[in-house]
Every structure is written in C-alpha cells, then in structure tokens.
Structure 1
Amino acid sequence: MTTDEGAVRYAQPAGPFDPAAVTWTPVSPRLAGARCTAIALTLLVPLAATVLVAVLTAPWVWVFPAALVALLLWALWLVPRQVRALQYAERDDDLLIRRGILFRQLVVVPYGRMQYVDVSAGPLARRFGIASVQLHTASVGTNASIDGLPPQEAARLRDRLASRGEARLAGL
C-alpha cells in the first residue's frame, strides 16, 4: 500500500470493497469536526434538561444525563473512524464511492447514468470549509453522495463528472 497526494493505492484486491488498481481519495478530516459539532449541538439541549431535572429531583435521575454523555463520547469516538472510511475513486468509466466500518458499502456510478451533479454546503459545512457532491442518476435508489470535500475539489469533481457524463450520454 503506497500513499501519494492523500490517495491510497492497493496493489491487489482484498475483497469486494477493494477493486484492483484503484486509487482511493479520502475526504477531508474536517468532516469529522463538522459531524461531531452537529452531534454535540443536538445533544446539548437534552443534556441540559436532564441535568436540571436530576438536580431538582431524586439522585437516580442522574442516569439520564450520564447516558447522554456516554452517547456523546461514543459518537466522538465513532465519527472520525467513519470519516476515514469514506473515500472515492474516479475510473475511466465510473465513479466509486465506499463508506462504512462495520457495514461497508461500495457504490459504483457509471458516468453514462448521471443526469446531473449538485454541490451544496450548509452553514456548518461552510464554517468548516467543506462541501458535498450529490450525484443524481436514472435510478431513484442510488445513494451517490460524497460529503466532506474541500470546496475547490467539489467544484472540480462536479465539472469533471458533468463533462464525463455528457460524453458518455452522447455516445448512447
């Protein structure tokens, strides 16, 4: 396994999720910070409420704030691992997206099936300097999105995928 410019190349296939001769490009590690911030903000109100209830009532009620803190710590441990597992690869005829640690997923999107490509970034994503690329295909069930790309890379990927999709679609 060698690394060049943030991409990982596998010399031989290691299973259905590691095709041969594919250069995987990881997403930005800033995605982990954005997701952890969103989780922390989501759990902040319930945590404050359960602490208030625990202070005003019986000592056994402290179980609920403790459970929320445990959930937060588990999420802070898990999210960076999930982000490291999110990678994509551009091949001649298709785009590969893989994600997941325990339940792995590999999505293969042929360029000829792409209808349009969206780039989006909400307020939190913009604060962390990341964007998402969403691929829309003829199939409704395709979950082809890449979160956590630097905005320049998202724009480059959007333009490249759109031009490759047009070229493949014109050949039909």
Structure 2
Amino acid sequence: MSVEPFAPPGVTWSRLSPRLVTVRRAISGVVTGVLAVGLLVAGVLVSPWFHAGAGLVLLSGAWEWWLIGRQVPAWGYAERDDDLLVLHGLLFRTLVVVPYGRMQYVDVKAGPVERRFGIATLQLHTASASTDAVIPGLPPEEAARLRDRLAGRGEARLAGL
C-alpha cells in the first residue's frame, strides 16, 4: 500500500487567489523591464556586449513569467480539527503541519501592491521557527476569517493544557 505524504486522506485543499499570479508577474515584469532597459542603454553607451545581457534578462524574465503561473496553483491550505496544513512547491514539495496549540500569534499583512489587487498574506508564528507557515494571496475577507478562526482555535488548545 503506497501512502502519499503530501495528500493526507480526507483533506480538502483551499487554493490561493489567482490574483497572486498577476501581482507576482507584474512585479517580475517591472524588475525585468528596468534591468533590460538599463542593459540596452549600457550597450549603446559602453559596449554592445551589454545587449547580450539584456537578452539574458529578457529570457530569464520569460522563464519566471511561466514559472509563476505554475507555482501559485501549487499552494494550498487545509484546516483540520487539530492542525492547519500548508502545502507548496513544485520541484521541492513542502507540507507544513501547524498544530493549533503551538501557534503563538497570527499576522495578516498586505503591501501597497497586494492591497491594490485585493489580496493579503497570512503568517502563522509558532514556538518553533521550523513550523511557521505563510499563506500568500488570500482575499482580505478570507485572511481575516482565517486569522480569527486560527487564533480562536489556538487559544482553545492552549486553555486545555
């Protein structure tokens, strides 16, 4: 009998907002564009060899564009009775199990770009840094709901000690 370590039985995964793909691609596109333009200008002013660097930057940016579209759908989270599961990664899969009783606090944050696109990031902090978990790309309402629910479950588990 084969047991898949990244697919616990009976778990229904919640996925991230597809707007996270847009945000990450926009940031990547701006950085790639600025670097490429800088290298093109250097190619005109200094040496044509900088044009090759601009080509590499554009090629790298295209690869990152494709990769972002694959990475975001690979994220998932699931609430269970005693813990929260966070799954991410394509090549190197990671499944973090955060017991509610080990949570110290829960942060919700959103930078200006995230707020513009209507997403937020939820971060769980535990007694052990290795079990901290991050869930990016949540709609703000879902991030607030999850924050309140997880904080309540964490308090209930700690009260039972």
**Coarse TM-score class (shorter-chain normalised):** over 0.9
The RMSD of aligned alpha carbons is: 1.4
Shift in Å at residue 58 of structure 1? 4.3
Q: How many equivalent pairs are there?
A: 160
Alignment of structure 1 residues 58-77 onto 2, 5 Å: 58-77=47-66
For 2:86, the equivalent position in structure 1 comes to 97
Say which of 56, 65, 74 aligns to 1:85: 74
Shift in Å at residue 43 of structure 1? 2.4
Runs of 4 or more, structure 1, over 6 Å off, are none
Comparing both structures, which one devotes a greater share of its residues to helix? Answer: 2
In structure 2, distance between residues paired with 1:144 and 1:88: 10
For 1:28, the equivalent position in structure 2 comes to 17
Deviations 1:65-107 (A, max 9, x none): 1000001100100001100001000000000000000010000
Identity rate of aligned residues, in percent? 57
* TM-score, normalising length: structure 2: 0.94
Task: Give 5+ residue unaligned stretches, structure 2.
Answer: none
Q: Does 1:148 align with 2:137?
A: yes
For 1:9, the equivalent position in structure 2 comes to none
Amino acid at match of 1:18: A
Q: Does 1:163 align with 2:149?
A: no
Amino acid at match of 2:36: L
Give the secondary-structure state (helix, strand or coil) at the position aligned to 2:97. Answer: strand
